[in-house]
Structure 1
Amino acid sequence: MLVSPDTPRFLAARLLLGAWLACGAGAQAQTLLDTSAAIGVQNTLNQIQPGVTQVPGSLSVQFDACKMAPESCKDGQPIGAAPAPATSGQSAQNAQSAQPAPSQVAPAAPTTPTQTTPTPAGEAPATRPVPTVVPLTAEQQQLLQAAQAQFAAGRYPQARNEFEALIVRNYNNPEPHFGLGLALYQLGDLRGATFEFGQFMQFAPQRYEGPYNLGVIATREGRYPDALRLYGEALTLAQSAPPAARQVLLRALATEQGRVKDYVALAATYADLRAADPENVEYIFRHAQALYQAGQVADALPVTYAVLERKPSSLQAALLLADLYVAQGLPDRAVRELSAAAARVLTGTDRATLLLRQSDLLLAQNNLRGALNAASEARQEDRRLPAAIIREAELLAQFGQRPAAVRAYRDALALTPKSAPIQAALAALYLEGNQYPEAAQAAQQALKLTPDASTRARALYVQGVVAYRQGQYTQARTALNSSVLAVPDADSLLWLGLSYYALKDYASAVPVLSESVRLRPTPAARQNLAAALLATARYAEAEALLRGLVTDEVKNAEGWYLLGLSQRAQQRPDDARQSFKTAAGLGSARAKDALK
């Protein structure tokens, strides 16, 4: 005889807010670096979340180098401004050397006889003689400035044509190749830009702009290992570069280190960025975060406090601090730090986020009441934050306050009407309250919203149990089988086994119930498996299972009765009679009939 287990609660998946938000502007891509023309492009620091690498895009943004590093500008000219036209008394070489740039163009008589040519990843670098650099004449210098002016004005096709014309007149100078590379990049010709920057590196191997800009192209094309290598090469060449330019290179390197999750190297890079700009709160926070991700928790603590000293209202720093204390095995300290931070942040949404994290920690300590109180406070701080409402609903359900949990889930659904997890959670609560039509409808709504595998399995489970309880065993079997295929679960397997049993397919019921017992050997699962074993004449196996059951639950009348049936089927009437007597004494009417 089968028994019907209590319906387990299937709550909606928690919307965790463990990943903190970065401050500042949104993530942008590495952008080409131009230090020899009258324009420049800025690489904005990307946001890095714990355990998540940043994926830069391809946005190129012009910037005023004087605003970025005013100490490096003279007479209002930005870093890398185009030189003034050469006077009749100036030689072409003097005009070129007057060009302000982090590093100068290679001299005409190089002291290094060979150089290493960039090669694709995995190939040995090729060594070839450094070509002789031919300085620009005064006329060519003016042509260069004209082409740079076209580029600065955004007339990229004209700039391309003028740079190409200049290259025809002087191929052995790096500046026209560099300008042409920038123009081709803006025109979307990445292959042409790659070639020109490669030529630039041939004539100016000591300049960092070449490998950096090749790294930008590698990032845009998804060749991330190449980008990481090229940014590293650029930094090696940029030892004497202006501080603003080195920060651009370091941020680009940080992007790729974050992508490959090399947190030790990432922490070192942000330490360098902090040295370049000690009061930059963003750098300090990223340094602390990278140290935490690298497992250097003790080192991360003082750095995190340095963020809070400068910006007490920082939500990100407060969340990171809590994680650091949890990592040190001090969850109570983490809870107190979150409470203190809640008094310092500036918005209700930030306070709600901190309270939700506090609810997480209290729940992990099995402090359900404290977790519920924190979740309720979070909801009060921001009534339009679905995560706070969902957390409160989950905990209300755990406390058995089903009507209140249903109301909370409905409130969350009003804010996010296309949430499949919320619909599935509501379906489970309706099922628990024997509200079968409402449960079936909510489950169907969840399935219409293209849920993930876990939510789909939960909704199908509800559908299957509703069908079983309404005597629709074929439909129950279909829905529960689909649930098990989506995500195997002990309860879904148990109800699937019951459905097979109800359809008198005992042979199919046995393996399904066996798997349910393996995943979670509850008394109900073991008892139902024993019934299926008896139905398939596997009496000895049933007896062994039932002996264990009645040993654990000596007052299980149905277990004793089934044990008696297994013993009687094996021609042991005395043992069977004793089991039936025990069952009858516990109130089993069928055991009493068996004794007659």
Structure 2
Amino acid sequence: MLVSPDTSRFLAARLLLGVWLACGAGAQAQTLMDTSAAIGVQNTLNQVQPGVRQVPGSMTVQFDACQMAPELCKDGQPIGTAPASPASVPGQPQPAQAAPAPAPAAPTVPAQTGQAAAEQTPAARPAPVVVPLTAEQQQLLLGAQAQFASGRFAQARNEFEALIVRNYSSPEPHFGLGLALYQLGDLRGAAFEFGQFMQFAPQRYEGPYNLGVIAAREGRYPEALRLYGDALALAVSAPPAARETLLQALATEQGRVKDYAALSATYAALRTANPENVEYIYRHAQTLYRAGQYADALPVTYAVLERKPSSLQAALLLADLYVAQGLPDRAVRELSAAAARVLTGTDRAALLLRQSALLQAQKNLRGALNAASEARQEDRRLPAAVVREAELLALLGQRAAAIRAYRDALALTPKSARLHGALAALYLEGNQYQEAAQAAQQALRLTPDASTQARAQYVRGVVAYRQGRYAQARAALNSSVLAVPDADSLLWLGLSYYALKDYASAVPVLSESVRLRPTPAARQNLAAALLATARYAEAEALLRGLVTDEAKNAEGWYLLGLSQRAQQRPDEARQSFKTAAGLGSSRAKDALK
């Protein structure tokens, strides 16, 4: 006779509150650095630059770049304007000597791309000739820049191109044209012009930085990382705001490749540039944690809390740091302390949920439930708190309370297939077959993930089996196994095959169930299927192991007797039947007659 396994298949979902890592300038893409103002480039070019030959020209025309385009300025200074005295960030590489590039023979666009121009070997090339703009050309440049600042990018493009025809060897028109083409969506053209800018202004960081922006936008992330590093190496004397922008861009790409050691160094540099920026301090601590430098991350995390005691992120990170160092009790206490400092009920709920997860990991289910219930009280509209409470109630065997909690959670998130699936499993556990089938069907209507689909089909299959609809049970359980192979689903699928008298199909399915989880019920059912297919010796070997582990298993002894009798060993069979009869097996008593 086959035996039914425990139908409890409730799988508690874990609430994951992992550390969120936003790198550098956040998830947003970098934007181009506009130093198209003459004061930002031309004045610097008037200084002596290695590798660049200058042709005397007219004076530089000054203008107020911030008045023209305030969105391109910070603290009243255009980004990229050369400061009065050099400023550097400790630990950053010194500016590399840029490769000299050849001057074009005529005012026409060279054939190679901007990137290719920047990467050519410099050894065989003469120094480029920089021809300063005349006073008339300066006025044309100002007009083109004004068109750009006003958002008339097509007109700006035309005016920059006209100026390049008159003076190809000045960097400012190339830079302005690159900005205009970028705004017009012509990334290839913009990259080419920034490459030309780099030929005539090889010591300027804006060229590689803007090429890095384009590379990142086109998905060429390793190249963007390299270009941002090149720009930073050239920006030793750049204004602090510009260096901060470069470091943020570098951090974004370092975070993308998960180079947490380098990223932590970049955030250390950002902290040096802006010591009281709490976001930089937090990101520094976070990247140290990701790099596995827990001891170094602790004081940095506390530095965040000194400046912002109510920081939820810092409190959660602090708990993670103590857990990582094998101190979960300390983490729980720190979360309790932080709950008194945060400013909103939602933040307190988040801390209590993390505390609940830690207590559950320590097998303290009652404490975990209390923390989850407190979280729910702090924020009654937070589904995660209700779900965790429901999960813990189920684990503690409080099925009715767990069902109520899941219903409350579904009132907040009615389209959650996962919650419908969990509720279906609880109904099945209580033999509420109609409710279980309805909840499972609802879960399947909501396009569930593979795990939820498997659970819902499992519930439908077991309900069908219990109601004697074995063909429907087989179909549903087969769908469950196809979604996620599971010992319980395989066991019930094997039972369905057996009930349909398809013993040959039952054996491999039940064998896989035993392989995944060799419970007594699975082993006993496999032995019954082996007997039904006349594989008596295999059944006997399996049953001997079963009765050795469970000496009072009456059905196991009875099946062992059947296997022995089928192999023409009546004395051994009679002894097994006697043992089974003594344990209460009526069928064994009949076999002894």
Where on the TM-score scale, by shorter chain, does this alignment land: which range? 0.7 to 0.9
| 1:442 aligned counterpart, secondary structure | helix
Which residue number corresponds to residue 34 of structure 2?
Answer: 34
Kindly indicate whether residue 310 of structure 2 is the aligned counterpart of residue 318 of structure 1. Answer: no
Which residue number corresponds to residue 368 of structure 1?
Answer: 365
Specify whether residues 416 and 130 from structure 1 end up closer, same or farther in structure 2 by C-alpha distance, changes over 3 A only: farther
Taking the aligned partners of 2:443 and 2:147, their CA distance within structure 1 comes to 57
Taking the aligned partners of 1:80 and 1:292, their CA distance within structure 2 comes to 34
| 2:10 aligned counterpart, secondary structure | coil
Normalised to the residue count of structure 2, the TM-score between the two structures is 0.88
What does residue range 361-400 of structure 1 map to in structure 2 within 5 Å?
361-400=358-397
Which residue number corresponds to residue 7 of structure 2?
Answer: 7
Which residue number corresponds to residue 196 of structure 1?
Answer: 193
| 1:30 aligned counterpart, secondary structure | coil
Per-residue deviation, 1:438: 1.1
Q: Which digits, 9 at most, give the CA deviation of each residue in 1:448-491, with x for residues without a partner?
A: 11111111111111111111111111111111111111111110
Specify whether residues 118 and 357 from structure 1 end up closer, same or farther in structure 2 by C-alpha distance, changes over 3 A only: farther
Which residue number corresponds to residue 478 of structure 1?
Answer: 475
**C-alpha contact 2:83 2:238 (8 A) present in aligned 1:** no
The one-letter code matched in structure 2 to 1:357 is R
What does residue range 341-352 of structure 1 map to in structure 2 within 5 Å?
341-352=338-349
**C-alpha contact 1:38 1:148 (8 A) present in aligned 2:** no
Specify whether residues 239 and 124 from structure 1 end up closer, same or farther in structure 2 by C-alpha distance, changes over 3 A only: closer
The one-letter code matched in structure 1 to 2:349 is A
Report the number of matched residues: 545
| 1:295 aligned counterpart, secondary structure | coil
The one-letter code matched in structure 2 to 1:577 is R
The one-letter code matched in structure 2 to 1:29 is A
Kindly indicate whether residue 112 of structure 2 is the aligned counterpart of residue 126 of structure 1. Answer: no
Taking the aligned partners of 1:39 and 1:475, their CA distance within structure 2 comes to 80
Per-residue deviation, 1:506: 0.8
Normalised to the residue count of structure 1, the TM-score between the two structures is 0.87
**C-alpha contact 1:506 1:532 (8 A) present in aligned 2:** yes
- Picking from 148, 155, 175, the partner of 1:151 is 148
Taking the aligned partners of 1:295 and 1:135, their CA distance within structure 2 comes to 52
| 1:228 aligned counterpart, secondary structure | helix
- Picking from 439, 453, 456, the partner of 2:453 is 456
Q: Which digits, 9 at most, give the CA deviation of each residue in 1:154-176, with x for residues without a partner?
A: 11111111111110110011100
Taking the aligned partners of 1:581 and 1:416, their CA distance within structure 2 comes to 58
4+ runs deviating over 4 angstroms? 20-26, 62-66, 97-103, 115-121
Per-residue deviation, 1:392: 0.4
The one-letter code matched in structure 2 to 1:126 is T
Kindly indicate whether residue 527 of structure 2 is the aligned counterpart of residue 530 of structure 1. Answer: yes
**C-alpha contact 1:289 1:320 (8 A) present in aligned 2:** yes
The one-letter code matched in structure 2 to 1:498 is L
Taking the aligned partners of 1:119 and 1:38, their CA distance within structure 2 comes to 22
Which residue number corresponds to residue 100 of structure 2?
Answer: 114
Specify whether residues 488 and 120 from structure 1 end up closer, same or farther in structure 2 by C-alpha distance, changes over 3 A only: farther
**C-alpha contact 2:35 2:206 (8 A) present in aligned 1:** yes
Per-residue deviation, 1:584: 0.5
The one-letter code matched in structure 2 to 1:392 is E
Taking the aligned partners of 2:363 and 2:383, their CA distance within structure 1 comes to 23
| 1:205 aligned counterpart, secondary structure | coil
Q: Which digits, 9 at most, give the CA deviation of each residue in 1:357-384, with x for residues without a partner?
A: 1111111111111111111111111011
**C-alpha contact 2:24 2:247 (8 A) present in aligned 1:** no
Q: CA RMSD in A?
A: 2.6
Kindly indicate whether residue 275 of structure 2 is the aligned counterpart of residue 278 of structure 1. Answer: yes
Taking the aligned partners of 1:435 and 1:113, their CA distance within structure 2 comes to 78
Taking the aligned partners of 1:421 and 1:536, their CA distance within structure 2 comes to 39
Kindly indicate whether residue 545 of structure 2 is the aligned counterpart of residue 548 of structure 1. Answer: yes
**C-alpha contact 1:156 1:186 (8 A) present in aligned 2:** yes
Taking the aligned partners of 1:391 and 1:133, their CA distance within structure 2 comes to 68
Gaps of 5+ in 1: 41-61, 82-96, 104-110
- Picking from 204, 211, 229, the partner of 1:232 is 229
| 1:139 aligned counterpart, secondary structure | helix
The one-letter code matched in structure 2 to 1:538 is R
